[in-house]
Amino acid sequence: MGINSDKVRVKVPGSTANLGPGFDTLGMALDLFTWIEMSTAAETRIHLLSDGMDGLPQDKTNLIYEVAQLVFDKAGVQHPELEISMYSDVPLTRGLGSSAAAIVGGLAAANALIGSPLSDDTLFQMATALEDHPDNVGASLFGGLVVAFWDGNRAEYIRVEPNEQLEVLVAIPHFQLSTEKARHVLPREQSLANAVFNVGHSSVLVAALCTGRLDMIPLAMKDALHQPYRAPLVPGLEQILAEATDHGALGVALSGAGPTMLALVDRSSSRKAELEGFLQGTLQAAGIEATLMWLQPALSGVQVLTHLDEGCTLFENIKGDVRA
Q: How far is the CB of 256 from ligand HSE (least distance, A)?
A: 4
Q: Give the annotated binding-site residues.
A: 91-101
- Tell me whether residue 254 or residue 275 sits nearer to ligand HSE (CB atom): 254
Q: How far is the CB of 44 from ligand HSE (least distance, A)?
A: 29
- Tell me whether residue 182 or residue 220 sits nearer to ligand HSE (CB atom): 182
Q: How far is the CB of 79 from ligand HSE (least distance, A)?
A: 28
Q: How far is the CB of 100 from ligand HSE (least distance, A)?
A: 7
- Tell me whether residue 118 or residue 146 sits nearer to ligand HSE (CB atom): 146
Site for ligand HSE in 160-189 (CB under 6 A): 179, 182-183
Q: Which of 8, 19, 21, 24 binds ligand HSE (CB under 6 A)?
A: 24
What number of residues does the chain have? 324
Q: Which of 9, 94, 133, 247 binds ligand HSE (CB under 6 A)?
A: 133
Backbone angles phi, psi at 157, to 5 degrees: -150, 160
Does residue 21 have a cis bond before it (omega within 30 degrees)? no
Q: How far is the CB of 209 from ligand HSE (least distance, A)?
A: 18
Q: Give the annotated binding-site residues for ATP.
A: 91-101
Q: How far is the CB of 133 from ligand HSE (least distance, A)?
A: 4
Q: If binding means CB under 6 A, how many residues of this protein chain bind ligand HSE?
A: 12
Mask for 44-63, x = binds ligand HSE (CB under 6 A): --------------------
Rg of the chain on CA atoms, in Å: 20
**Residue 311 burial by CB count (10 A; 0-12/13-18/19+): exposed, middle or buried?**
exposed
18 binds ligand HSE (CB under 6 A): yes
Question: Which residues are registered as beta bridge partners of 84?
Answer: 38, 46
- Tell me whether residue 136 or residue 202 sits nearer to ligand HSE (CB atom): 136
128 binds ligand HSE (CB under 6 A): no
d(CA 164, CA 25): 21
272 binds ligand HSE (CB under 6 A): no
Mask for 219-248, x = binds ligand HSE (CB under 6 A): -------x----------------------
Residue at 129: amino acid letter: A
Q: Which of 50, 85, 88, 136 binds ligand HSE (CB under 6 A)?
A: 136
- Tell me whether residue 197 or residue 315 sits nearer to ligand HSE (CB atom): 197
Q: Which of 10, 39, 118, 135 binds ligand HSE (CB under 6 A)?
A: 135
Residues in the site for ligand HSE, rule: CB under 6 A?
17-18, 24, 133, 135-136, 179, 182-183, 226, 256-257
